[in-house]
Amino acid sequence: MLVDENSERSAPLQRFLRDAGYEVVGHLSDSADLNAAVAQLQPDVIIIDTDSPSRDTLEQICVMSRDDPRPILMFTHDGETEKIRAATKAGVSAYVVGGLESGRLKPIMDAAMVRFEEYQAMRNALESTTTKLVERKDVERAKGILMKQRGIDEEAAYQALRKLAMERGKKLGEIARQVIQAAALLS
């Protein structure tokens, strides 16, 4: 999907994309409806061609990257460090300053997609690790509750949680949260 308010500038870019084997599934003249267009068209990659990224464009990218992430390439003439930082922080995978030549397009697209995949993998790993840490904390709290209420040792409390999780077909962390919630209700 291509986003460019300048139709004279976007025509050669569309031709470069087609020549490189890409299909342009949509063209927006501004980024105001970026989220709706992405939801409707489901593009593999978003290319934004602009003189300088506006605050509104960066906000749209940020929301889209949070809700429906995908590789975003930004071609611009603004090499200001703060603009680059803001665009990258919003979710831009490749920020390219200067003119675009057809021979550069495919390597830039490939690099942006690889960078996006790497970022998504790190994001997923961080989310998984965070979830595991929260679950571990919940299990420790639930063991403490069971140890205090039943007068049992840590291993017996852990085994009781584990047995309950297996009987109910639920994750250990979920059972631990239920024990914590029940204890809060009873106290």
Q: Which domains, from first to last, does the chain contain?
A: 2-100 (3.40.50.2300), 127-186 (1.10.10.10)
Q: Which of 96, 54, 50 is nearest to 71 (CA)?
A: 96
**Tell me, what's the pLDDT at 120?**
92
CB 94 within 8 A of CB 76: no
Q: Is 168 left (phi over 0), alpha (psi -120 to 50) or beta?
A: alpha
Is the entire prediction scored with pTM above 0.75?
no
Residue 129 amino acid letter: T
Over the stretch 113-168, which tens digit does the pLDDT of each residue have?
999 999 999 999 999 999 999 999 999 999 999 999 999 999 999 999 999 999 99
What is the band of 48 on the pLDDT scale with cuts at 50, 70, 90?
very high
Residue 10 has pLDDT above 90, yes or no: no
CA distance 164 to 167: 5
